[in-house]
């Protein structure tokens, strides 16, 4: 089941890549009627009336899709790469020229000025996620592009399909279907954004979230899982095993004798005793539990990670409440290091430096 889910996730990621490729290619143009003959004859010229889009840009975007999707995903033969890239680039340029109108120039200016105004207006009142007015502007500006994007998608399928064996044609069909689903979601989200209905941090290609099903206690499955994992952290802390590993590695590193090993074990037992006393405190357990539930829910529901204020606030709170435990561990490690004699320290350092020298590393060279 896990493998199946991974396959679905990978296919959806590829579909979103293709959908994004098509949206980016057409971004800045409106969906005007396509005149296939004139568009084809203008393939070798950049657009003129609106946002500049050149054959080189089309080649680069098409090449990215062929390199990162068509070749690894469908096993496109090497001798067909240039032909496929050229065909898709022509599709992109044809769409670009069909949308290259003076009217669209005014639309682009309106969209970008609206976005800049929204950013300026929200600068003094920062809120998480996209400013509402920017979302409205994007919804109005991007939604009309989608008919042309869908036409390019159909064209990509028509161009690639004859170059692939039957099995890979089926895979291509699945991916194009998934890309179509992603575009359907994108279109609905743009309609919603145009109405000003914007959620913080939402993915514009994601379908509307299904209705949350809650249990008798009013908790969703996501919340119940977050609570379970948080309770696991409280009931089964990791510092015991981490400290034990440190002591065993210190014994090996310094080559402790029996008496020194016993002293190190004694320091470990004392640190664990004090840590257990702290971790049994009801207030401490509640704070850790709440922090870990908060951490799980922000990741699973808000989908914020890494360089975002929320994870850093949660991490700072966690570091603060874990401070006494961390200090115990650091003190224990310092005391164990002091058990070693000067000779043991020197010999341990020499062994490590010799291992590094065997790899050609000499500290004085750096």
Burial of 32 (C-beta count, 10 Å sphere; 0-12/13-18/19+): middle
pLDDT at 197: 83
pLDDT at 337: 95
Left, alpha or beta for 163 (phi > 0: left; psi -120 to 50: alpha)?
alpha
CB atoms within 10 A of CB 90: 20
Backbone angles phi, psi at 164, to 5 degrees: -115, 150
CA end-to-end distance (rounded Å), the chain: 50
CB atoms within 10 A of CB 152: 21
Dihedral sign for Cα 47, 51, 57, 63, please. negative
Q: Which residues fall within 8 angstroms of residue 31, CB to CB, at 6 or more apart?
A: 99, 144, 145, 146, 147, 148
Q: Please state, in angstroms and as integers, the Cα–Cα distance from residue 226 to each residue in 24, 181, 212, 309, 311, following that order.
A: 37, 30, 15, 20, 15
Q: Which residues fall within 8 angstroms of residue 298, CB to CB, at 6 or more apart?
A: 304, 310, 311, 314
Output the tens digit of pLDDT for each of the chain's 366 residues. Answer: 444 444 444 444 555 555 655 555 555 443 333 333 344 445 677 766 566 788 999 899 999 989 998 999 899 999 999 999 999 999 988 888 877 777 766 666 777 777 677 677 666 555 556 677 877 888 888 877 788 888 888 999 999 999 999 889 988 888 888 888 888 888 888 888 888 887 766 777 776 655 778 889 999 998 999 999 999 999 999 999 999 999 999 999 999 999 999 999 999 999 999 999 999 999 999 999 999 999 999 887 877 667 778 888 999 999 999 999 999 999 999 999 999 999 999 999 999 999 999 999 988 776
Helical packing angle, 166-194 and 2-26, nearest 10°: 60
pTM, 2 dp = 0.47
pLDDT at 334: 96
Structure-derived torsion over alpha carbons of residues 50, 54, 55, 56, reported in degrees to the nearest 10: -160
Q: Please state, in angstroms and as integers, the Cα–Cα distance from residue 112 to each residue in 122, 126, 134, 296, 351, following that order.
A: 15, 20, 9, 37, 63
Question: How far, in Å, CA of 292 to CA of 314, rounded?
Answer: 8
Question: How far, in Å, CA of 327 to CA of 299, rounded?
Answer: 28
pLDDT at 34: 36
Question: How far, in Å, CA of 231 to CA of 225, rounded?
Answer: 10
Only one residue has tokens 């992109």, namely 92
Q: Are 131 and 201 in contact (CB under 8 A)?
A: no
Question: How far, in Å, CA of 78 to CA of 62, rounded?
Answer: 15
Q: Note the Cα 16 to chain centre separation in Å.
A: 13
The DSSP letter of residue 207 is P
CB atoms within 10 A of CB 209: 9
Only one residue has tokens 């899709």, namely 65
Q: Note the Cα 214 to chain centre separation in Å.
A: 28
Backbone angles phi, psi at 53, to 5 degrees: -135, 120
Q: Note the Cα 320 to chain centre separation in Å.
A: 28
Q: Are 139 and 194 in contact (CB under 8 A)?
A: yes
pLDDT at 25: 53
Question: How far, in Å, CA of 166 to CA of 177, rounded?
Answer: 17
CB atoms within 10 A of CB 175: 22
Question: How far, in Å, CA of 194 to CA of 10, rounded?
Answer: 30
Q: Are 91 and 25 in contact (CB under 8 A)?
A: no
Q: How is residue 72 written in tokens? A: 């690894």
Q: Note the Cα 305 to chain centre separation in Å.
A: 8
């Amino acid at each position: 089941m896990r493998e199946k889910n991974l396959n679905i996730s990978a296919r959806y990621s590829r579909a979103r890549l293709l959908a994004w490729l098509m949206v980016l290619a057409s971004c800045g143009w409106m969906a005007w009627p396509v005149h296939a003959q004139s568009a084809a004859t203008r393939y070798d010229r950049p657009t003129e009336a609106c946002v500049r889009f050149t054959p080189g840009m089309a080649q680069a975007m098409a090449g990215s899709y062929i390199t990162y999707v068509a070749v690894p995903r469908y096993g496109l033969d090497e001798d067909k790469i240039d032909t496929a890239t050229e065909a898709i680039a022509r599709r992109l340029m044809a769409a670009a020229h069909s949308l290259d109108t003076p009217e669209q120039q005014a639309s682009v200016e309106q969209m970008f000025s609206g976005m800049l105004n929204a950013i300026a207006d929200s600068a003094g009142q920062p809120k998480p996620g996209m400013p509402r007015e920017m979302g409205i502007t994007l919804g109005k500006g991007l939604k009309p592009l989608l008919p042309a994007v869908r036409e390019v998608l159909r064209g990509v399928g028509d161009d690639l399909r004859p170059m692939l064996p039957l099995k890979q044609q089926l895979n291509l069909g699945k991916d194009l279907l998934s890309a179509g689903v992603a575009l359907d979601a994108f279109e609905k989200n743009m309609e919603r954004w145009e109405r000003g209905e914007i959620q913080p941090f939402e993915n514009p290609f994601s379908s509307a979230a299904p209705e949350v099903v809650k249990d008798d206690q009013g908790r969703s499955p996501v919340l119940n899982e977050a609570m379970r994992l948080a309770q696991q952290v409280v009931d089964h802390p990791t510092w015991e095993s981490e400290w034990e590993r440190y002591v065993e590695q210190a014994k090996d590193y310094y080559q402790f004798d029996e008496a020194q090993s016993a002293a190190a074990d004694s320091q470990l037992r004392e640190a664990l005793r004090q840590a257990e006393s702290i971790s049994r405190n009801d207030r401490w357990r509640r704070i850790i539990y709440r922090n870990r539930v908060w951490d799980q829910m922000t990741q699973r529901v808000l989908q914020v990670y890494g360089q975002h204020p929320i994870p850093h606030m949660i991490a700072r709170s966690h570091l603060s409440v874990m401070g006494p435990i961390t200090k115990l561990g650091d003190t224990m490690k310092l005391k164990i290091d002091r058990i070693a004699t000067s000779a043991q320290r020197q010999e341990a350092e020499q062994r490590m430096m010799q291992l590094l020298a065997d790899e050609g590393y000499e500290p004085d060279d750096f």
